[in-house]
A = this chain, B = another copy of it.
Amino acid sequence: MTAYQDAMAHARQTEALAQIAGRLGWDQQTMMPRGANAQRSEEMAALEAVLHARRTDPRYGAWLQEAQAPDDVGAANLREMRRDYARNTRVPARLAAELARLTPLSHSAWEEARLADDVAAFLPWLRQMIALRREEGQAIANGGDPYDALMADYEPGTDSGTVAATFDRMRPRLVALREAVLGADSPPALTGHFPQEGQLRVSRRLAEHFGYDFTRGRIDLAVHPFSSGSGHDVRITTRVAVEEPFNCFYSTIHETGHAAYEQGVDPAFALTPIGRGVSMGVHESQSRIYENQLGRSRAFTGWLHEAMAQEFGALSVSSAEAFYAAVNRVNTGFIRTEADEIQYNLHIMLRFDLERALMRGALEAEDIEEAWNTRFALDFGYEVDKPSNGILQDVHWSIGLFGYFPTYALGNVYAGCLHTALRADIPDLDAHLAAGDTRPATLWLRDRLQRHGALRPPRDTIALACGFSPDEGPLMTYLEDKFSGLYRL
């Protein structure tokens, strides 16, 4: 075997073990009995120790140093492996094990604190998580900015300065649009009682219509919707609130977008370093374009309107036009995952600034609730009423995901670009969407983007799919056009 082949065989086995870790994460949030938490924490720590040892194995490092890429695919695999090796060899095994042990405990503490609206109960866990991730950020930054280093785990090839600059350009336009919309007449919301079983049936239909392959996946319930796994085992979750069916439906479409990316990668890349989505931002571009530009379009909501009427009988909004307005209604809520397309990005900017401050040591766990609430009042114009509508709403920080949030807004930016390109290529897209047929769009995305996995870096992946270099312009234009139309601005 050549050094390249040795490195690839090693990485493939590591990836197989990483898939197992992912499956355990899925199990913890869907199936695991409550009393198993402490034991699971120890099991995950043992697996994390194995993964860490493999990812930092000096023999692997020697193979990577010596390896010659046989072709373009090999070069991409080497790029991924070398970046990860450099990163991982900077993290002490002790720290990796501590993070693995803390994560499920902290996650459970968050779940309970959120149900009880009890920030104080969660603070000790958050404090530990912040301390460990600060330490990890410093270790992997190698003298650079710790937050940038953490962010590069999710979005390699960017930095917080560039992101902040993009956000600075978006923000005044978003705020102006939001103010105009909230000053206009609000369309009626959809009201009613939508039983769980019916929501789950529509949910499954939505996943099918967006191309989810159930022979290689499944849908279950979880507190926080997520997608998990790669290749031939990509599972998604959703949640049900009986009076808010759009929560369930658009969560499902969102996670179907993530899953479609993983299920859509060239099978020849399975379990190799490039056999997965290239970054969280690009991942999010898929989930967001499925959810928003396709799923919340006038054309597709027409189909959903029919599907809901079939399942639930007459709806409180009876015309397709009013249904479209209800789906896209700009509300004055608190929850990121339920936010409309405009305010969603303001949610991200809030979290981005807070977590950047946290990681830099400019903010501590005990001050974060106040900082959140102050900033929220400033950005949204009203006060957070309870922690589960504020600081406790998201799972991310409980499991150590600092640096992840900005990728959601980057995903929106990328989705805006992809949407412009695919509309140009598929002029009759709306006719298909109106019939519930997303295939022209989803197959375009599979062909242009999903199947390539991590063959190219994130921005190059988007640029190749779009035919132009991505920026926030198309997203902002799309939002301004869409909401000006909806709210007759």
Contacts and interface: CB of A to CB of B under 8 A. Distances in A.
A232 interface: yes
Interface residues of A, number: 38
Contact of A49 (B13, B46, B271): B13
Given A27-B27, A233-B36, A271-B39, A50 B17 contact: yes
A266 to B, nearest CB: 15
B20 A20 contact: yes
A267 to B, nearest CB: 10
Number of this chain's copies in the complex: 2
A33 B215 contact: yes
Nearest to A229: B36
Given A20-B47, A24-B23, A27-B27, A35 B218 contact: no
A24 to B, nearest CB: 7
Contact of A217 (B27, B33, B45, B47): B33
Contacts of A271: 39, 42
Interface string A1-40: 0000000000001101101100110010001111111111
A118 interface: no
A216 B47 contact: no
A411 to B, nearest CB: 26
A291 B35 CA distance: 26
Interface string A223-244: 0000000011101000000000
Contacts of A42: 16, 271
B34 A215 contact: yes
Given A33-B217, A46-B13, A215-B33, A39 B23 contact: no
- Which 9 A-B pairs rank lowest in CB-CB distance, beginning with the nearest? A36-B233, A16-B46, A35-B215, A35-B216, A39-B232, A16-B43, A13-B46, A36-B232, A17-B46
B50 A213 contact: no
A139 to B, nearest CB: 23
Of listed A16, A49, A216, residue having the most chain B CB within 10 A? A16
A43 B17 contact: yes
A19 B16 CA distance: 17
A270 interface: yes
A468 interface: no
Given A31-B218, A33-B217, A216-B33, A20 B43 contact: yes
Interface string A192-234: 0000000000000000000001111110000000000001110
The prevalent SS among residues of A at the interface is: helix
Contact of A50 (B23, B39, B50, B235): B50
Contacts of A49: 13
Contacts of A232: 33, 35-39
Nearest to A14: B46
A45 to B, nearest CB: 7
Interface in A120-173: none
A218 B16 CA distance: 27
Contacts of A47: 16-17, 20
Contacts of A31: 31, 218
A233 B39 contact: yes
A220 to B, nearest CB: 8
Nearest to A216: B35
A232 B32 CA distance: 10
A270 B13 CA distance: 29
A31 B217 CA distance: 10
A356 to B, nearest CB: 35
A391 B107 CA distance: 47
22 contacts: A13-B49, A16-B42, A16-B43, A16-B45, A17-B43, A17-B46, A19-B43, A20-B24, A20-B46, A27-B27, A31-B218, A33-B217, A33-B233, A34-B215, A35-B216, A36-B233, A37-B232, A39-B231, A39-B270, A40-B233, A42-B271, A50-B50
